[in-house]
Amino acid sequence: MIVFDRVSFSYGTKVVLKDVSFSIEGNERVAILGESGEGKTTVLKLMLGLLKPDSGRILIDGEDITERTESDLRQIRLKLSIVFQEGALFDSLNVKENVAFCLREYSRMSEHEIDQRVRELLGRVGMEHAMDLMPEELSGGMHRRVAIVRSLAACEPRMFLYDEPTSGLDPVNAATICQLIFDLSRNGRGFVIVTHKMMDALKVGNRFIFFKLGVVVFDGNEEALIKTSVPEVLAFLSDLNFDLKGSVNLQKQEA
């Protein structure tokens, strides 16, 4: 569904991606990993056409989006749903109105239908009781759940994109968000999650792409990750003081 074909991108003189190629099927659960500043969020923005590569092609469902107009991109973006790290809820709208906003903007539903749809979506994530709360009244975990629900509201995307969805959350809320991400993928819809938290990546992902200095230095499944000898990946795991095999075993027991 998503193809990067020899993609390069820079912010001014800072090279972020160098001749990067990979493809992701619509039902894959992919974690993009790497240290801060390695271009992980940039990859998501390129997938949506929010940024254009300096060279190379990006294809969504076989369509090259690199030279598409904003009008064309709008239709393509309906196939993908993104939740940015900040959640980006409207501060002046309560939870119900935040979720309803996309329905009013992109659908022809009546107000009654919108109300039913909002309640259904919020009920999926245990947030129906919070419909009247304002964003500043939400905990970090609640904020992320509402952001994920809002991303579902306007359409039923084929694939989800998550930018550091558990960043800044305590372990309990982070586990809740990971479970939600995994549950939403049960119907065959895949996702791409950008994270620097290896434990969260392992809880939800079945493929792991590691970026270092603008290139892909690792791309493989969990078994390959456990056995990796790639120095950059090992150094990253070591810096995190992360016992990879022990953590993977714990995750499998919990599953």
**What is the chain's pLDDT, residue by residue, as a tens digit (255 residues)?**
999 999 999 999 999 999 999 999 999 999 999 888 889 999 999 999 999 999 999 999 999 999 898 888 888 888 888 887 766 788 999 999 999 988 888 778 899 999 999 999 899 888 999 999 999 999 988 998 998 888 877 667 889 999 999 988 888 888 989 998 998 888 788 999 999 888 889 889 999 999 999 999 999 998 998 889 998 888 777 655 555 544 444 344 344
Q: Do 157 and 78 touch, CB atoms closer than 8 A?
A: yes
Structure confidence by residue, pLDDT tens digits, 192-221: 999 988 888 988 999 999 999 999 999 999
Q: Using CA atoms, how far apart are residues 73 and 82, in angstroms rounded to an integer?
A: 14
Class of domain 25-54+69-79+161-255: alpha beta
DSSP 240: T
Helix axes 111-124, 95-106, angle to 10 degrees: 130
> What are the sequence ranges of the domains in the chain?
25-54+69-79+161-255, 89-156
Q: Is 107 helix (H, G, I), strand (E, B) or coil?
A: coil
Instruction: Give the bridge partners for 160, in sequence order.
Output: 81, 191
Residue in the block written with tokens 């129906």: 128
What is the reported pLDDT for 241? Answer: 54
Q: Using CA atoms, how far apart are residues 94 and 135, in angstroms rounded to an integer?
A: 6
R_g of the chain computed on alpha carbons = 19
What is the reported pLDDT for 87? Answer: 62
